[in-house]
Amino acid sequence: MDEGQTYRVLNREIFLLIALSVLAVGVFLFTKRMSIKEQQLDARIAAIWYQEGERQLASGQIAQAIESFRKATTGALGNPTYTLALANALAAGNHDAEAEQTLLRLRESDPEDAEINLQLARLAARREEVEDAVHYYRNALYGRWNEASADQRKQLVRMELIRFLLGRQQRDLALSELLILEGDLPQSAAAHVEVARLFLQAGDVQHALKNYEQATELDKNDADAATEAGETAFRAGDYQQAERYLKAAVELKPEDQKIRQHLAVAEFVLSTDPLDPHLTNEERQERLLRGFDQGLRRLDRCLSQTSGQADPQLQSLKEQATALEPKLRSKHPPDLELTRATFQLIYKIEQAALARCGEGEELDQALLLIGHKHNGAQP
């Protein structure tokens, strides 16, 4: 083969090589384009199944939602949003084991995701696994929230944790979370009232009253805040504070007889206690006689209801009161020792009458509370 022929053969080979290369590139580009289009189609189909699953879940069609989310995750492998939705639907359908495994797989790739940890916390809470639930709740609280309203959402999650702990008698843990929550509350009367109620459930009356106070300052027309603050102070034995709140509550809800009754009792406690150290002798005598006369009336009514002769305790109290009466009505005010002895008798009368004849008038209730306050009229 001469040089010309060799040149022509080489040119033909080079041309074929170039043509094949161009064809290969074209095939590759076509295949890639088709693959991308197929992926895009799969993604659109997955999105449709995801939206359908959301609709079904919202309407209570749990089983159908699970299947829709499965199809969505199959069409978009590795999509965490679709996988999390599937886990939530599984949990809603009580498929807890599968839901937990799905969430744990998600968590392996993103342990800081707050939503994943929250769903794991709820599953643990459902199984009454307190330690695991608290662990995941706290991971959620200090994790990464992918939403604009993260602060508000975290407050709701912390409240959820607190209610879970209170429901399991974990008051110390609940209180520690409540103190954190209290420091981040918005300037809202409703928020402070809700936290006050949680503090009451946790047994912390003082922090409850503090939040009720803040609620009433933020909204002086919040009848629930004033009422609950008054009742809380009343139960705590702080009758001055109870009177202040209950007066405000009566102005806001004048038709509420329960509030009026509590206010009347609180006022009686404040105006009837003969052991108040700030009284003059004359004031002490006046209060003591008022309580004594009320106790006698209560005792006589109860004796008439129970056929007094058949009740030796009531009869004995009547005899003690009759013997003591002349000393009390003397022109000379009773000394402190006589005051204590007399009120101890009044307290015993009210206790006995309550046990045998039921609850008395507001003043009778006040005398019982005064006696309880002084531990049976002892200083």
Residues 6+ apart with CB under 8 A from 72: 46, 47, 49, 50, 53, 79, 82, 85, 86
Would you state the pLDDT for residue 177?
96
Residue of 275, 300, 299 whose CA lies nearest to 287: 275
Hey, how many other C-beta atoms are within 10 angstroms of the C-beta on 64?
16
Would you state the pLDDT for residue 273?
94
Residues 341-368, mean pLDDT to the nearest whole number: 94
Instruction: Report which of residues 369 and 77 the model is more confident about.
Output: 369
User: What is the chain's mean pLDDT, rounded?
Assistant: 87
Residues 38-65, mean pLDDT to the nearest whole number: 79
Amino acid at 47: A
Per mean pLDDT, which range of 9-18, 166-175, 283-292, 361-370 is the poorest? 9-18
Would you state the pLDDT for residue 36?
46
Query: Residues 133, 164: contact at Cβ < 8 Å?
Result: yes
Would you state the pLDDT for residue 131?
95
Q: Is the pLDDT of residue 117 over 50?
A: yes
**At 377, is the pLDDT very low, low, confident or very high (cuts 50, 70, 90)?**
very low
Structure confidence by residue, pLDDT tens digits, 227-279: 999 999 999 999 999 999 999 999 999 999 999 999 999 999 999 999 998 99
Task: Name residue, tokens 């309580």.
Answer: 291
Q: Is the pLDDT of residue 300 over 70?
A: yes
- The predicted model scores a pTM of 0.76
Distances (CA, A) of 123 to 92, 147, 188: 10, 22, 31
- What are the DSSP calls for 134-162, one per residue? HHHHHHHHTSB--STTHHHHHHHHHHHHH
Residues 6+ apart with CB under 8 A from 328: 285, 288, 289, 292, 334, 338, 342
**At 86, is the pLDDT very low, low, confident or very high (cuts 50, 70, 90)?**
confident
Would you state the pLDDT for residue 379?
36
Structure confidence by residue, pLDDT tens digits, 190-223: 999 999 999 999 999 999 999 999 999 999 999 9
Would you state the pLDDT for residue 87?
87
Would you state the pLDDT for residue 378?
43
Residues 135-162, mean pLDDT to the nearest whole number: 91
Q: Is the pLDDT of residue 4 over 70?
A: no
- DSSP, collapsed to helix, strand or coil, labels residue 13 as helix
Per mean pLDDT, which range of 32-46, 127-141, 154-168 is the poorest? 32-46
Q: Is the pLDDT of residue 48 over 50?
A: yes
Would you state the pLDDT for residue 25?
58
Residue of 288, 289, 309, 311 whose CA lies nearest to 357: 311
Would you state the pLDDT for residue 76?
63
- Tell me the two tokens of residue 96: 């807890």
Instruction: Report which of residues 41 and 141 the model is more confident about.
Output: 141
